[in-house]
Amino acid sequence: MPTVAERIGRGRFVSFELWPPRTPESARSLEEALDRLTPLGAAFVAITYGAGGSTRERTHDLVVRLVDSPLLPLAHLTCAAHPRSELVELMERYRQAGVDNLLALHGDPPLSATEELPEGDLRYAVELVALARELGFPSVGVAVHPEGHPAATSREADLAHQAAKLREADFALTQFLHRAEDYFALVDELHRRGATAPVIPGVMPITNVRQLGRMTAMSGTTIPLALAERLQAVAHDPEEVRRVGIEHATRLCRRLLDGGAPGLHFYTMNKAAATLEVCANLGWQTAERW
């Protein structure tokens, strides 16, 4: 089975992110999303890991379930709030189950939290990359932030940190973004610092106005003023909001691909419809090459 890194290297792909269910309702949403998204022929599917390990077993179970499915799983793992021994134990379980691909993250607290997550034995994601290498993971990625991490002390320090991570990894996924120029500027800056592994842009189509504030708070990203104004102008009409959001995401994806992005990573929120609509607009056909 090719690794995530190998599939990324072939270029022109889509991938998507899902999270493990917490309730019977979210379990049904997950199953529906899996059923509807599988025909896209995604290069991989990333499975999130809750803050401080709050979804540890659910994440593990979903990742392992997908090992023998048509969907290649990419397991998220965070180092915040974990002793090294816990991380080793979980990664060894993954390796024994045939999981080859890991996304190494520091980990952020949930939006409702009033305090930062406690530090673990590993303070930075780059240390988690090194541990994954020690334990035999052949394909390890990291996260990068086109507009800078919200906790960064300066833009230069942030770029230096992101480049150091990427130099040790096989690939990176970006936080979701809304301007193609933010992606290309980040890739250029990382290349200048010797970090040349592939960077995959993340896209999350806006389908309701309530997402605007939450998305900004969650990720530190900003929404282009013209887009925000268009969405606010039709806020009374959910279908029109959706149309505007899908239209913007489609245009963004075309610019990213035309500009040389290796592929597209969709943040689905465990819902398939928006991703499917954007892919249809792009003329995406099921990939049989995996």
Task: Exactly one of 17, 168, 189, 277 is catalytic; name it.
Answer: 17
Question: Quick check: is 17 catalytic?
Answer: yes
CB 44 within 8 A of CB 74: yes
Fill in the amino acid letter for 251.
R
First to last CA, the chain: 9
* Cα 171 from chain centre: 12
Report, as residue numbers or ranges, the catalytic residues: 17
